Structure 1
Amino acid sequence: MITDLPLEQLRTYRPEVAEPADFDEFWARTIAEARAAGGAAESVPADTPVTAVRVEDVTFPGFGGEPVRAWYLAPHADGPLPCVVEFIGYGGGRGLPHEHLAHAAAGYAHLVMDTRGQGSSWGTGGDTPDPHGAGPAFAGMMTRGIESPDTYYYRRLVTDAVRAVDHVLTRPEVDPTRVAVTGISQGGGLALAAGALHDQVAAVAADVPFLCHFERAVRITDARPYSEIAAYLSVRRNVAEQVFRTLSYVDGVSMARRITAPTMISVALMDAICPPSTVFAAANAMPTPPQVEVYHFNDHEGGAGEQVLRSLRWLGEVLG
């Protein structure tokens, strides 16, 4: 059922979302350190029976130069090719190559980034560890290292997303002026972050994005992953101020304020995992209004295959 604001209120919903004064400095420092850490990229033919498109098993340096796995799929063409970098939803990993054929079939180079420390909750798995410890945390990823923005898990994951864009820009067949980022749920939140933090992203397609307007999300939904934060705070009763300060460094609303590339966002009005008000808070914060695709009768699955088609058509118009 619809449990959030009516659509007419959602379209104008612009809440006050706290943003740390050193937000830009924090991310500039984090990304500069990751780039300076180096680390070698490797790309080898994938072990797959898929032959209609080119498929490579990629490792590229992410946060701290640490290895991140990915699949790279592309048409058998010399280029220059438009490229889509895709990020995965919470708990999932890069899966298997044949699960990611749509973009290559539509003529795009396509990098599917694995998600460090995840990949064992649904789908067909992931291959990238997160070699960092954390203090006391609730089960899941949302509270790992949440004591400080410097140690927070999503600092590392957002940096991986930016470095994934760096990687495709090194590939000779990719047109550096036509690189888009996309993802669903957690992947949509990472797409907003990469669009905000990488100045060569030419388009952003974020579906039912997670990681937006934390202070509202944690209070209005019982669904995971946001409920992991509430559960943590129900035990660690005296650290709420610090927790929300840490989360403010990765909030999609603050990221959205910095996105200048054309953007498409999808939202589902019956979404209990990423409530629509949290999505509209990000959409309405953008300097240039995004194209918003609304699914009136859907939960967190959003537009599913229909949204894939809408996104591909929109990318074709934006990237040419």
Structure 2
Amino acid sequence: MILLEMQVLADIAETAIFEDQMVKLLARKKYVELTQPFRVAFGTIAGLDVVEVELSHEGVVGRGECCPMAIYGQDADTTLAEIAAITPQIESGDLDRTSLQKVLPAQSARNAIDCAFWDVEAKLSGRSVWDIAGLEAPSIIPSDVTIGIMTPEETATFAAGLCGASSIKLKLGGEHDLECLAAVRSVLPDTPLFVDVNAGWTLDRLNALAPQLADAKVFMIEQPLAPQDDPQLDEYGRAVPICADESCHDRSDLDRLEGRYQYVNIKLDKTGGLTEALALAEAARQRGFGIMVGCMLGTGLAMAPAYVLASICDVVDLDAPLIVKDPAHRGVKHDGRQLHQFGADLWG
């Protein structure tokens, strides 16, 4: 792993990669539907709009995709507007992947464009994204399977079908948290298990439930409290390590997370693309954090750059291909236990 190579390349790549040639940027939204509604602490999701970006130059097309989320004050239309606002700068060659980081905030719009830059850069240079980033390309990566908030009976039935999973993520923050946890352990007593609360608990509930989660061999609790309540974690009893998701967007967050969280969940829609995601992973690792990669919802076009990041992560939560309804949207294969490396025809 040579992440420093990626950073050096980015630092010296101040000249636009298109060499003053004609560039065209197109952005569109499309709806990605789930096989069935999926409940988490903040609501139920049946599908979401994603935004796809294409950068075209001399017959070469680079693509990227993002999934704007209302919980971060974004949607597909506002994201399209953000992209449209800087399209003239990109098409004129005034912006490249490095300068983009300073023009747009670490949100979904930057993610889609950043990943399109990575894709077109790879195709124009004849190098893979792996080579540009200085990373190895594993053929398979173990990934979890997520169980949404259900009744305890539904949870047990669903878990019974996951006996081959490499790990399980159980969504909590509902009415029957401990009963659902017991339901999973009744059929999967030894499968590595972590839980995701999506900011649905109070500190009192965290401290009350964490010892029982530890007894059930839960190895991590993801985002138990709302981000604004992070200072309360100074009073957490630490029975189970915790992971920052909604509380962690980019490197600027690490100072206030240190000492409160043991893991960070890196999602490209929060970091604003693969460029900052790799930099955040390296910075977090240097500070002693465990590294997790997650995703919103998306097609294989969004999963491919997340797969690149997953190759250097401790916990991989990229099971969107298992729950999107349209087979054409899956792109990256998840066989219920692990992800399989995507082809260059998809991305990178």
TM-score after normalising by structure 1: 0.30
Larger radius of gyration: 2
Q: Structure with the greater relative contact order (CA < 8 A, sep ≥ 6): 1 or 2?
A: 2
Structure with more of its chain in helix, by fraction: 2
TM (normalized to structure 2)? 0.28
